[in-house]
Structure 1
Amino acid sequence: MIPKRIQIFTFLAALLLAFFSCQKENIDSSKKAKNDTEILKLISKADKFYNSYKNTDSAFFYYNKARTYCEPKEDAKHYIYCMYYMAEIQQAQGDFQGSIKTANETFPFLSQIKNSNYVWNIYSVLGRNYYFTYDYPTAIYYYSKAFILSTDRINKLEAKNNIAVIYIKQQKFDKALPIFLSISKEKIVKENPENYSKTLDYIGYCYYKLKDPKALSYFESSIKLKRQVNYNDGLGRTYYNLAEYYHNKKDPNLVMKYAKLSYENYTLSNNTDDRLLALKFIAENSSNIESKKNTLIYIKLNDSIFVARQKAKNQFAKIKYDSKKEKDENLKLKAQKIKNELRLAKQESKNIASYVIIILALSLIVFLYFFLTVRANQQKIEATYQSETRISKKLHDELANDIYHSMAFVESRNLTSEENKSQLMQKLDDIYSRCRNISKDNTPFLDCQNYKASLKEMISGFNVSSINLLINGLDTISWDKIDKTKKTAVYRSIQELLVNMKKHSNATLVAITFKEHNNVVMINYTDNGKGIDTNKMVLKNGLHNIENRIHDIKGELEIHSDSGKGFKVLIKFPS
């Protein structure tokens, strides 16, 4: 039988344990309620900036701050709500990869959401991101997942519409047309002039591509509706379709009329991407003088859009990074506090801890010794390999490009002229001299005293009758203050780009812009060639060499291209 004193002691211990447990639960409940209030306050502020003030930067900041207060496993609803709007804002600023990453972070918690509209939002924003990055199969996958959810009728129709739009992009007009025709019969669609006019426009476009004369009547009906509600962005799209329609009919007057109307309406709606598309169409169908003028406007607008979106990407990335950093620092402070309390409570184990630290330190020293020894041996092997490959790299990087440059010189110059013949002989003599001395690793380079002239001469060698080559800002750079290594890298990189352009791109227009700001030199290369798909691009040969050269001078290389939409490279390096 248990003694009475022990029974009393056990009862009091259980009572104290229950008391402290209740106290802890009350503290946790109070803390959670305070946290929920703060989250709702931040979301409300973010919603105001997003909906009322149209200030997406501030909205992104407060959505992100609210997100950091959420515990996704316990509060998935608010977490997914914030992440969705952050992804929307990133997408609107052209940061499609950042938007995909933000949306994907919600996947572990979607199953906890009862309201399927939240899940529909995530799938839809992912579908749009993959659509804008030309990954159409993945876009259809997410729109299909959105379609099968139990949501509002308008949401289902929107997902269905988006799938049909992708079929248009895939040139599957016979699959897209019946979908749009079925949508056009929906009462909820007919009651909304903007949505109904867009559907009519898509039907007209499908008929036009299928060579059905009914196309024109649908375009006209769409324009009539859009004019009634002043839907400028939609008018821009229909006018662009009509410009294409009459281009196919070989009616240049109507082509330019509707192309300019498209450009004007996209300008009014502040749709920069489609405005740029309309301007490109105008430039391609204008006379030579007007085409050059429109091309310069296109390049300037394209550059400004690129800079604005790059700033937005950097800003959103910084906001997410700063919030993560703040959260990590708070965790570190909490960990430090716990660590100090443990040190006070376990002072008697200080000596043991010291011995453990000494043993760990000795182990670390031994590990570092063997690690550094192995790494030194690997570096020796790598140095031998690099020494062996240096000569072959020089053959490709410099001699091959110089030979191709000489071939371009022969194509573009009259060799009956003594001056041109002399220049060609000088180039060939230079190539011959370097071939003789390349084993001595003593390859000469251009005259850095006349660097600007040498660079101009090299670029002008590619300005043949089939290529219109524009150079802007070359004379504004302080080349004399830039060291020889950087000038060499710039010369070879531009030469590599021009050689690749002439070999592969079928470009007819090339623009190279030089700028210097805050001791940073920026070189923008743009051509209207066939481009490449950056999602499938592998840096090989020329592009790989350019990347290595720019990184060697502590610079940055950014490549922007889409298949069939030209090729653009931004080079930045400290002057």
Structure 2
Amino acid sequence: MKLIYKIYSPFFLLFLLAGIVSCSKPKKEFILRDALDKEKSALLENYKDKAEQFMNAKIYDSAFTYYNKSLELQIEAKDTLGEGHSLIKMGQIHFEEGDAPTCEDNVTQGLALLENLQPKEFHNKKDSLDRQDLKEKYLSQAYNLLGKCYRSLLNPERAIEFYDKAKNVAKDSLALCTLENNKASVYIENQDYEKAYQILSNLMTSDVVLNDAETKARVLNNLGNVADILKKPEALSYLESSLNIRRANNLPIASNYIQLAKFYENKKNNNEAALYAQKAYEFAGSLKDTDKRLEALKILIYVSAKKEAAALKYIEINDSINKVRRRNITGFASLKYDSKNAEAKNLKLSAENAQAESDKLLLGIIGVSILIISGFVIYILRQRHKKAKIMEVHNTETRISKKIHDELANDVFNVMSYAESSDTPYPEQRKLIQDLDSIYQKTRDISRENNTIDTGENFGNVLREMLTDYKTATINLMNINFDSIDWNQVSEHKKITVYRVLQELMVNMKKHSHADVVVIKFAIKNKKITIQYTDNGKGLGKDALISKNGLQNAVSRISAIDGTLIFDTSMGGLKVTCTFPA
């Protein structure tokens, strides 16, 4: 999930307001009517065949194009079953490209069609039986895919719910075992290891699993992972058996190497862990499996002697895959509306409304011109006071910090001293002193977080020391290209803003995210400073951001210096990109 906070000029906002329109959609009928004519029927079959071929070859953009073309003809034929299937497959492509929310939307639309489709809507008895089987097959696929979506979106309860729904309609024994394995994976991620171990142990007694090499290897790999967490002695045997099966059957083995790396990492054997993590990284690279490469790099950050190189490679690959997936998401969205019928309707609508649009445009230009002039005046007035307000806020924080330190903290300390020397019974005295000490520490923390900042020539050292204070035995902190910024060329109020924003991010990391790897990268390009913060913690949702006053303060501070603050948790952990004029 990505949350972007950015200050725009009044001109952009005014144009945006001028372009808002509303639309409505007709309700969908769940009816199967007469089939297409012979020519279009042949064309539909051709589209479906090509879509499946490209899907099997993992050429997702071409597969999406032909599923979309199939969908258009299925809508024309009122083929509800076909529509549902195409939407589910398009949703699967979105999932494979890392866009779980859009996948959820497509699959939900497909389910709305399939779940409301009744046997009476089929042409004859044989057709009814065949299509009923297909309906159940498609429903099972859709429920399973939604389970994967909610697992990706960190909603384990919903994931289990849809895996169970898939089991209720699935008829294939191997598919049922696969769904059970998927449920076990959810329990592992939710740290319910005993339940996961029970499911996986039961699967290893199934003849269906034992007779299918790929499924057996997958179950053994998961079982070895859970057994290792539960400190069972057979863990390594399970992991090695899974690896041997996949090698013997020429199956992908990156996930095996990753689990073996984790096993040796847990045993504090960093050499073996690094060896297997490197193998996983190389093997995943040969298959262009970027998710596995990232997972391997995460392990190398902890166990490799070249931690910084692994961290830089992780950031590089993560940024690259995000760009590709964003581009694909945009491309898929445009394909949905790229059809001749839609184009013809748009041309007709444009001709009918040309004059009306011309009149609207003229009125809009006049109205927007007035708004721009007003906005420009307001903008100039606001800019005059912006810097003064930033410094006023800083001075207020400093005064509060000094008052807390000089008065409140000292008063609390005096009361503690009095309590220690009073005749109060020991248990009550000890409890009182502990409570007072807790209050004293909090006041000292508030004072320290709002104290005076040295914005002179020593600012670089002050900022580096503040960040270093958060580095502990369990938190690995790396500053990359810190010296690339000449802080003497940065204005005083911007130095204060940078210090406070990074301080808020570090406090959030320590109190809430439970990260153990933090990378802060500094860069300057085209007279803009970019600070990229990345950690491997639990991430941040929109609601969480709204509820955290510290991060809201960070957004406000950056906005005040015409900068942007981008929060990104789409790939796990938290990534924050801060950009502002140098």
- TM-score, with length taken from structure 2: 0.64
Residue 578 (structure 2) aligned to one of 559, 565, 571: 571
| Paired position in structure 2 for 1:95 | 99
Q: Which residues in structure 2 correspond to 1:236-315 (within 5 Å)?
A: 236-252=254-270, 254-286=272-304, 290=305, 293-315=306-328
Amino acid at match of 1:278: A
Residue 557 (structure 1) aligned to one of 566, 572, 577: 566
Residue 527 (structure 1) aligned to one of 512, 522, 535: 535
Amino acid at match of 2:320: V
| Paired position in structure 2 for 1:137 | 157
> Separation in 1 of the partners of 2:343 and 2:62?
23
Per-residue CA deviations over 1:210-251 (Å, capped at 9, x if unaligned) read 443333333332222122123343xx3334434444444555
Q: Which residues in structure 2 correspond to 1:466-545 (within 5 Å)?
A: 466=472, 469-473=477-481, 492-501=500-509, 509-515=517-523, 522-528=530-536, 530-534=537-541, 537-539=544-546, 540-545=548-553
Residue 81 (structure 2) aligned to one of 74, 77, 82: 77
> Separation in 2 of the partners of 1:496 and 1:457?
16
2:337 match: secondary structure = helix
2:68 match: secondary structure = helix
| Paired position in structure 2 for 1:193 | 213
- Cα-Cα RMSD: 4.9
CA 285–489 in structure 1, closer or farther in 2 if over 3 Å, else same: same
Q: Does 1:176 align with 2:210?
A: no
> Separation in 2 of the partners of 1:228 and 1:60?
34
CA 569–399 in structure 1, closer or farther in 2 if over 3 Å, else same: same
Instruction: Report the CA distance between 1:142 and its aligned residue.
Output: 0.8
Q: Is the contact made by 2:294 and 2:317 (CA closer than 8 Å) also made in structure 1? A: no
1:106 match: secondary structure = helix
1:570 match: secondary structure = strand
| Paired position in structure 1 for 2:359 | none
> Separation in 1 of the partners of 2:35 and 2:227?
63
Instruction: Report the CA distance between 1:77 and its aligned residue.
Output: 3.0
> Separation in 1 of the partners of 2:148 and 2:62?
23
Amino acid at match of 1:104: T
Unaligned runs of 5+ in 1: 1-27, 344-363, 408-426, 435-444
CA 212–460 in structure 1, closer or farther in 2 if over 3 Å, else same: closer
Instruction: Report the CA distance between 1:559 and its aligned residue.
Output: 2.7
The alignment-based identity, stated in percent, is 28
| Paired position in structure 1 for 2:332 | 319
Q: Which residues in structure 2 correspond to 1:358-373 (within 5 Å)?
A: none
2:75 match: secondary structure = coil
Instruction: Report the CA distance between 1:145 and its aligned residue.
Output: 0.7
Instruction: Report the CA distance between 1:127 and its aligned residue.
Output: 0.8
Instruction: Report the CA distance between 1:399 and its aligned residue.
Output: 2.9
Residue 157 (structure 1) aligned to one of 174, 177, 182: 177
Amino acid at match of 1:132: S
Amino acid at match of 1:294: K
1:105 match: secondary structure = helix
Instruction: Report the CA distance between 1:149 and its aligned residue.
Output: 0.3
Instruction: Report the CA distance between 1:126 and its aligned residue.
Output: 1.2
CA 73–454 in structure 1, closer or farther in 2 if over 3 Å, else same: farther
> Separation in 2 of the partners of 1:518 and 1:36?
56
Instruction: Report the CA distance between 1:45 and its aligned residue.
Output: 3.6
> Separation in 2 of the partners of 1:482 and 1:79?
58
Residue 55 (structure 2) aligned to one of 42, 47, 50: 50
Instruction: Report the CA distance between 1:108 and its aligned residue.
Output: 2.1
> Separation in 1 of the partners of 2:558 and 2:40?
48
1:524 match: secondary structure = strand
Amino acid at match of 1:223: L
Per-residue CA deviations over 1:83-111 (Å, capped at 9, x if unaligned) read 22322222222222222222222232122
Per-residue CA deviations over 1:472-496 (Å, capped at 9, x if unaligned) read 4566679999999988765653453
Q: Is the contact made by 1:459 and 1:495 (CA closer than 8 Å) also made in structure 2? A: no
Instruction: Report the CA distance between 1:121 and its aligned residue.
Output: 1.7
Q: Is the contact made by 1:72 and 1:109 (CA closer than 8 Å) also made in structure 2? A: no
Instruction: Report the CA distance between 1:520 and its aligned residue.
Output: 7.1
Amino acid at match of 1:458: L
Residue 228 (structure 1) aligned to one of 241, 248, 262: 248
CA 204–550 in structure 1, closer or farther in 2 if over 3 Å, else same: same
1:148 match: secondary structure = helix
Amino acid at match of 1:303: E
Q: Does 1:67 align with 2:71?
A: yes
| Paired position in structure 1 for 2:555 | 547
Instruction: Report the CA distance between 1:265 and its aligned residue.
Output: 3.9
1:97 match: secondary structure = helix
1:538 match: secondary structure = helix
| Paired position in structure 2 for 1:417 | none
> Separation in 2 of the partners of 1:73 and 1:108?
18
Q: Is the contact made by 2:239 and 2:256 (CA closer than 8 Å) also made in structure 1? A: yes
CA 402–149 in structure 1, closer or farther in 2 if over 3 Å, else same: farther
> Separation in 1 of the partners of 2:94 and 2:505?
31
CA 472–172 in structure 1, closer or farther in 2 if over 3 Å, else same: closer
Instruction: Report the CA distance between 1:316 and its aligned residue.
Output: 1.8
Amino acid at match of 2:554: I
Per-residue CA deviations over 1:436-482 (Å, capped at 9, x if unaligned) read xxxxxxxxx957xx8xx746753443224637654445666799999
Amino acid at match of 1:157: C
Amino acid at match of 2:300: I
Structure possessing the higher radius of gyration over alpha carbons: 1
Q: Is the contact made by 1:93 and 1:309 (CA closer than 8 Å) also made in structure 2? A: no
CA 296–543 in structure 1, closer or farther in 2 if over 3 Å, else same: farther
> Separation in 1 of the partners of 2:344 and 2:489?
46
Instruction: Report the CA distance between 1:397 and its aligned residue.
Output: 10
- TM-score, with length taken from structure 1: 0.65
Amino acid at match of 1:106: G
CA 518–109 in structure 1, closer or farther in 2 if over 3 Å, else same: farther
Which fold has the larger relative contact order, with Cα–Cα distance below 8 Å and residues 6 or more apart in sequence?
2
> Separation in 2 of the partners of 1:498 and 1:519?
26
| Paired position in structure 2 for 1:214 | 234
Unaligned runs of 5+ in 2: 1-32, 118-130, 356-362, 406-446
Per-residue CA deviations over 1:142-201 (Å, capped at 9, x if unaligned) read 111111004322222221221122222233333233432333344443333222122222
> Separation in 1 of the partners of 2:272 and 2:483?
42
Q: Is the contact made by 1:525 and 1:569 (CA closer than 8 Å) also made in structure 2? A: yes
Instruction: Report the CA distance between 1:136 and its aligned residue.
Output: 0.9
